Amino acid sequence: MAGTVVIIIILAVVVPIAIIMTGLLFSGVLGHILQKDVDREHEGSELFELSRRDFSK
């Protein structure tokens, strides 16, 4: 009976968190790779300069 409860807790808590963290990691890596590709394509153009500008002022 105790083993069943442990398995249910693992399936209900640990597995969803692991799936979310894996998706977060994949999204970060993919975003970084795509940003580098776009920066390489538009280097020297006004699009590249706009992406590097700090608009927080």
Cα gap 24→49, rounded to integer Å? 28
State residue 57's pLDDT score.
63
Average of per-residue pLDDT values in the chain: 88
pTM above 0.75, yes or no: no
State residue 8's pLDDT score.
94
State residue 48's pLDDT score.
76
CB of 39 closer than 8 Å to CB of 48: yes
50 band by pLDDT with thresholds 50, 70 and 90: confident
Residues across the chain = 57
Q: What type of residue sits at position 48?
A: F
The pLDDT tens digits of the residues spanning 1-23 come to 899 999 999 999 999 999 999 99
Q: What type of residue sits at position 40?
A: R
Residue located via tokens 């105790």: 2
